[in-house]
Every structure is written in structure tokens, then in C-alpha cells.
């Protein structure tokens, strides 16, 4: 029964995550953000393509689906259900079944999941993200840095094995989705926040 509940939570989380906010919001603007800018279906590319209002809507949508997936998971299967629901929502955001499996990088949804797992740790990571983005103006570097530090800080805080495993999986997803950004960072061609591409 517990396994069946986790499967149900995973399916619900994935389907919720697949409702990609940037693609949905873009439809109201008559624009598919995947055809513009970086081609990524996320808040940052929405900001560059459609502006602040659209990006704000995308951010809210991405956070909400992560929160709701975690709440449903927690209700059906406890703490493990919360983490499974959150993780599969991120997977759905990155590879949405409704949009040919071409989605975003899941940072807003990941942040929502981290907050649901441990809000204090989430706020610490948000602070780290803010410091890195303010000093380097690289959103990608800030996202990867905060993501990688998630399991590290979890270990130092003495979190249980399940928490650390899910934190590591979340970090691995973030790094994998940002692999092209990391390559551009190494090559010195990555776009900086607030600076338009030539």
C-alpha cells in the first residue's frame, strides 16, 4: 500500500510539474519562449523574452506547483511522499509530457520543494543564490552553486539519509540541466543577468 501511494504521488507530481508555467503564460502573449533567447522554458528566459510581469507569473506558477505537489505527497505518504512529490514535479517541469518533454531547468520549482523540506535551509540557499548572483550576475552559476550546496549543508545539519539522498538527486538534476550553461561559463560566453545579448 505504501509503495502504491508513492507511485500515485510520483504520477501526480510529474503531471503537475509538466504544466510548464512559462509555456502556458507565453500562450497568452502569443509567444513560445522556447523559440527565443536561450530556448529554455523557464522564468529567466521569460524575463528576457516577455518582460517582468510574465516572468513574475511564471515564477509564481513554478513555485505553486512544487508546493502543491509536496502537500499532496505529504498527505498521501508522509515525509517520503513530500519529497517524492516534489522531486517528480521538478522532473515534470524539466521534461513535461504536455510539451514534447522540452521544459525548463526547474530552479523555482526546486526552491519551492526545498522550502517544503526545510524552510530554514531553503532560506539559507536563497541567501547564497542572492550573494552569487549579485557578485557575478550569472543566474546559472548562482542556481548551480545553491543546488550543489543543498546536500552538503543537509549533511552538516545532520539530516536523515532519505533527506540527503533526495537533496543529492535534486542537486544532480540542477547540475545536469545546467550543463550547457556550465560549458558557456567555462568558455566565457554565458549571458549575465540584466545584460542583453548582442
Region 98-124: what's the mean pLDDT? 93
What pLDDT sits at residue 37? 80
What pLDDT sits at residue 42? 84
Quick: pLDDT tens for 142-155: 999 999 999 999 99
Rounded Cα–Cα distance for residues 185 and 120 (Å): 30
Share of the chain above pLDDT 90, in %: 74
As given in the structure block, the three cell numbers for residue 93 are 517541469
What pLDDT sits at residue 196? 53
- Asked if residues 107 and 126 have their Cβ atoms less than 8 Å apart, the reply is no
Using alpha carbons, list the distances in angstroms from residue 115 to 23, 110, 118: 24, 9, 5
Quick: pLDDT tens for 2-57: 889 999 999 999 999 999 899 999 988 999 888 888 788 888 889 888 989 999 99
3-state helix, strand, coil in the chain (%, to 5): 80, 0, 20
What pLDDT sits at residue 160? 96
pLDDT tier at 194, thresholds 50, 70, 90 = low
Tell me the pLDDT of the chain averaged across its residues.
92
Quick: pLDDT tens for 48-99: 889 899 999 999 999 999 999 999 999 999 999 999 999 999 999 999 999 8
What pLDDT sits at residue 60? 94
What pLDDT sits at residue 198? 44
pTM: 0.90
Residue 110: which of 141, 137, 146, 162 has the closest Cα? 146
Amino acid at each position: 500500500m505504501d509503495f502504491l501511494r508513492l507511485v500515485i504521488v510520483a504520477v501526480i507530481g510529474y503531471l503537475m510539474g509538466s504544466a510548464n508555467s512559462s509555456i502556458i503564460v507565453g500562450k497568452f502573449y502569443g509567444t513560445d519562449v522556447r523559440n527565443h533567447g536561450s530556448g529554455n522554458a523557464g522564468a529567466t528566459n521569460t524575463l528576457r523574452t516577455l518582460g517582468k510581469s510574465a516572468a513574475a507569473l511564471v515564477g509564481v506558477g513554478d513555485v505553486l506547483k512544487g508546493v502543491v505537489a509536496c502537500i499532496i505527497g505529504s498527505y498521501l505518504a508522509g515525509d517520503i511522499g513530500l519529497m517524492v512529490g516534489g522531486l517528480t514535479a521538478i522532473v515534470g517541469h524539466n521534461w513535461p509530457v504536455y510539451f514534447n518533454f522540452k521544459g525548463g531547468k526547474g530552479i523555482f520549482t526546486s526552491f519551492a520543494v526545498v522550502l517544503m523540506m526545510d524552510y530554514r535551509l531553503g532560506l539559507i540557499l536563497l541567501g547564497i543564490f542572492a550573494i552569487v548572483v549579485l557578485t557575478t550576475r550569472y543566474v546559472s552559476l548562482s542556481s548551480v552553486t545553491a543546488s550543489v550546496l543543498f546536500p552538503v549543508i543537509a549533511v552538516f545539519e545532520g539530516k536523515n539519509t532519505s533527506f540527503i539522498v533526495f537533496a543529492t538527486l535534486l542537486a544532480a538534476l540542477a547540475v545536469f540541466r545546467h550543463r550547457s550553461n556550465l560549458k558557456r561559463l567555462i568558455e566565457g560566453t554565458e549571458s549575465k543577468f540584466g545584460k542583453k545579448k548582442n
